[in-house]
Structures are given as structure tokens and as C-alpha cells.
Amino acid sequence: MATGQDAVRPEVRPWPALWALVLGFFMILVDSTIVSVATPAILEDLGSDVGTVVWVTSAYLLAYAVPLLITGRLGDRVGPKKLYLTGLALFTLASVWCGLTNSIEMLIVARVFQGLGASMMTPQTMAVITRIFPPDQRGRAMSLWGATAGVATLVGPILGGVLVDGLGWQWIFFINAPIGVIGFFLALRLVPDLPTHQHKFDLIGVVLSAVGLFLLVFGIQEGQKYDWGQIKGPITVWSLIISGLVVLAIFIFWQSRNRGEPLLPLGLFKDRNFSLANVAITTVGFAITAMAFPLMLYAQAVRGLSPTRSALLLVPMAVISGALAPFVGRLVDRTPPRFIAGFGLLCCSVSMFWMSQVIEPDVAIWKLLLPIALLGVANGFMWAPIGTTATRNLPMHQAGAGAGVYNTTRQVGAVLGSASIAVLMESRLAHNLPGMGGGASEGFTGKLPEAVRQGFSDSMAQSLILPAAVLLIGLVAALLFVAPSHLQKKTEGATQQAKAA
């Protein structure tokens, strides 16, 4: 098994390299949320319809999620730095292309290339952390990675609102150009060229994984749009989802039979912590994505807040998450991860259940900010220990493959969360506002009429119980973590010293 030799070479400076990578990672995450604020402006300016403009986001998420397994493995083969720089260049150029388009169709195509660039970059950030930081320092590094995700969820909607209001929707893409150029040269200078590992490329595995994930993610993502029924001719939403699952089952079977080098080394899952961390991060991706929809709809439709002011509700979450990052990072390197991750997941579940109890049409804003602040505590304690635990014991030559699997499960969890919460919100609206159903939330430009506010609030509040419940699965997974190898060695050493004494 490979060791952490990459981290002890004197020419490698881990922290400057990490800051360079975090800048690009931050840009990717901001771009995942910033477009939602600009959707009405894009709709009006390009003369599109709602069904088409949704693909500005859907195309990006599909192109981002589907190749992650492949790009993770590719990073092991050609080097994480080269693939990260290629992805960053593609992402930056595609961003400029997005801003220059004058038709909805070209904007969707440009967003696909953005998503492909993002899929090249994301696994490399985790792989580089695994390879350049020694095991007893990865917690602090991963906490910065996790804090970046928390802050990006806040910055995206706020920055989007400011740019759309002040300069136009094109600038949510143009702003990536200077950031991308700076990030490229910082990464070129500060990220080390790590040794590559010669891998045979599993072409059958590449095709099966791409087709299976595309069918599954597309089916789930578009299910609500087609009312979980017919899409075109004999093609239905459920036929796509089932076909995707069948193709992925064939992919797993092929990986188990492949005597060469499979795209997905199933041996990764022999590491108990890796398997459990993937379960945990799937529930986190599900819950964080699902929570945003009812909360933002409530803030805008019931309270009449603008998109920018709605996003400001998340300030306590981002501030607390960022402030806790250094403390939690040090804790992760010294403490068994089940306690830290378990505490974070419990706080996350409690915060969403608490939110579901306080959401009312006229509740004081400070009462709403309390569970959001607890969500900041949860973010501070979740991301770093789960991410660190997933990759801590992996062989160095499989760091990219492990990061690809981890980010794929997180992204699939997010897609599941988005689809599930949409279905549940429709169901609760139909129950609480008979005769209006999901139409109660469509086309509002301010506060909803007084007569429907209570029913709408109740529907959004009840929907939040779903992500709160799903997080309990992640909590169980986290509580089953075992102490990582570097902590086990310390414990064994202390025991031997005690026996000797």
C-alpha cells in the first residue's frame, strides 16, 4: 500500500497549494447556485419558456455529475494538477461563452462545457489533499474544503442578485473570467506536479458508468417536470430511471469481473470508513439541496423578501461554519471521526426539524435565524470529518478514484434531494391548499395573498421534515466509523508504553 510520500517531499508546500485549489473549487460551487437567481432575467431577455430555461441549470448539473467517476480516475493517470488546470481553463472559457450567447440553446450548450470543466476539477481537489497532506493534518485541510462549500452556498445567491440587478445576467458568467485566470496561474505556480500512476483505461467501464449515471440522473432530475410519466413516445421517466439502475448494475458486475484495472476499484469499499462516508455524504447532499427550496420559497412567497434578502437569511450559517473550520480541522486530526461527524449530522437534522416547527407567516425573523445558526454549526462539524474519513486510509495511487466516487455520491444525493423535495412540496400544497396545488407557488412577484399564506407556510414547513429524517441515516453511518489508522497507531503506541511502564 502506498504511503504519504508526496506529503513529506521538502519542495511540496501543502497550504499554498490548497488555497490555490480552493479558489477554483469555490468558483464551481458558486456557479451551481448563482444561476437560480438570474433565471427570471434570462427567461425575459432570451424570450424563452420555463421548461427550456430550467435546462440552463439541469444541463450544467448533468454534465458535472455524470463524468465524475471517469475524471477522478483520469486524475490518477495523467496527474491531478494537469487535469485540474485543463478543467479550470475549460470552465473559464465556457463562462465567457455563456455571457456572450444571445440564444437559450447556445447558453445551454455552453453550460454543458462548464459542467464538464467542473467535473474535471472537483475530484482533483480532494485527491491533492489526500496526497500532499500527511494523515494527521488532513482534517484541517478538509475543513477548509468544507468551509468553502458552506460559504459558496451563501455567496452564490447574494452575488447573483447584486450582479443581475446592477449589470445584467451576463455578468454572473463574466465574473468567472478574472477569477479563473488568477486561479489558473496560482495553481500552475503553487500546486505540485505529483507522481502519476500508470493505469489501463477501462473503456467498457467508462461507457457503462456514463450511460447508467446519465439515465439515472436525468430521470430523477426531470421527473417532476414530466409528472413522473411519459416523456416522449414509449419513453417514460421511470423507464429511464430503471434503465439507469440496470446499466449501473451491469457496470458493477463488469468491475467485479475485470481482471485488468477497473474504472471503479471495488476494493475501495473494503475500507469500512470509505463505504460509510459515502452513505453519509449522500444524505448530506440530499438534505442541504432539499432544504434550500422550501426555505427560499417561504422567504420570497410568504415573507415577500427579494432573492438577495432571502439569501441573507443564510449569513449566520456561513459565518459560523467558516469560524468553526480551523477548530474542527484540528479536532478531526486528533479525535475519532464518529463523534465529530455524528454531532454535525445530529445538529443538521435537529436544525431542519426545528425550522419546520418555527416557520409561520408572521414569525419573527430572529426565531428563524436560530435554527439556521445551528445549521452553521452542523456544516462546520459535518463536511471535514466525513470527507477526511472517506479518503484517509486510501492508497495514494487510488486517491483520484476515491475522490471521484465520493463526489459522485454527493452529487447524486443532491439530485435525489432536489427531485424528492419537489414532489413532497407539490403533495403538501395539494393537501393544504386544495384546488391550487403546486400552482400556488408559480408566477408570484411578491407576497402571496393573505388567504393562502398559512397553507403555503405549512406546506414548506412540513416538507423540511424529509431532509431532517434522511440525515438520520447519515447519522447512523457516521456513528459506525472506526478510528483511522493514524489514531489507531497512536493508541497502540500509548498502550505499549503503558504496558512497558
CA 257, 259, 260, 264 torsion-angle sign: positive
Of residues 285 and 263, more confidently modeled: 285
Q: Give the mean model confidence (pLDDT) for residues 322-331.
A: 81
The angle subtended at Cα 303 by Cα 298 and Cα 305, nearest 5°, is 95
- Helices and strands (DSSP H and E) totals, the chain: 21, 2
Task: Label residue 500 by pLDDT band (50, 70, 90).
Answer: low
Q: Give the mean model confidence (pLDDT) for residues 367-395.
A: 87
Of residues 346 and 32, more confidently modeled: 346
pLDDT cut 70: percent of the chain above it: 88
Q: Give the mean model confidence (pLDDT) for residues 343-358.
A: 96
Give the integer Cα–Cα distance in Å for 35 and 174.
Answer: 13
Q: Give the mean model confidence (pLDDT) for residues 389-413.
A: 80
| Listed range (78-92, 156-170, 229-243, 391-405) with the worst mean pLDDT | 391-405
Q: What's the confidence (pLDDT) of residue 444?
A: 47
Q: What's the confidence (pLDDT) of residue 11?
A: 59
Give the integer Cα–Cα distance in Å for 249 and 246.
Answer: 5
Q: What's the confidence (pLDDT) of residue 356?
A: 95
Non-local (6+) Cβ contacts of 253 within 8 A are none
Q: For 154-207, how does the pLDDT look when each residue is reduced to its tens digit (9 = 90+)?
A: 677 778 878 887 888 899 899 899 999 999 999 999 988 887 766 667 788 888
Q: What's the confidence (pLDDT) of residue 478?
A: 95
135 Rama class: left (phi>0) / alpha (psi -120 to 50) / beta: alpha
- Residue 481, pLDDT above cutoff 60: yes
Of 480, 481, 471, residue with least CA distance to 375: 471
Of residues 430 and 86, more confidently modeled: 86
Q: What's the confidence (pLDDT) of residue 333?
A: 76
Give the chain's mean pLDDT: 83
229 and 370 Cβ atoms separated by less than 8 Å: no
Of residues 219 and 378, more confidently modeled: 378
Amino acid at residue number 182: I
pLDDT cut 90: percent of the chain above it: 28
The angle subtended at Cα 223 by Cα 238 and Cα 402, nearest 5°, is 85
Q: What's the confidence (pLDDT) of residue 31?
A: 80
304 φ, ψ (degrees, to nearest 5)? 75, 25
- Residue 111, pLDDT above cutoff 90: yes
401's grid cell: 478514484
Q: What's the confidence (pLDDT) of residue 153?
A: 67
Q: What's the confidence (pLDDT) of residue 119?
A: 92
Q: How far is CA 381 from CA 26, 48, 174, 345, 376, in A?
A: 19, 42, 34, 8, 9
386 and 257 Cβ atoms separated by less than 8 Å: no
Non-local (6+) Cβ contacts of 476 within 8 A are none
Of 120, 63, 124, 65, residue with least CA distance to 87: 120
Q: For 61-96, how does the pLDDT look when each residue is reduced to its tens digit (9 = 90+)?
A: 888 888 888 888 888 888 889 999 999 999 999 999
- Residue 1, pLDDT above cutoff 50: no
Task: Label residue 465 by pLDDT band (50, 70, 90).
Answer: very high
Q: Give the mean model confidence (pLDDT) for residues 256-269.
A: 81
14 and 137 Cβ atoms separated by less than 8 Å: yes
133 and 388 Cβ atoms separated by less than 8 Å: no
Q: What's the confidence (pLDDT) of residue 435?
A: 64
Q: What's the confidence (pLDDT) of residue 165?
A: 76
- Residue 3, pLDDT above cutoff 80: no
Q: Give the mean model confidence (pLDDT) for residues 287-306.
A: 85
> What would the DSSP string read from start to end of 266-284?
GGGGGSHHHHHHHHHHHHH
Task: Label residue 221 by pLDDT band (50, 70, 90).
Answer: confident
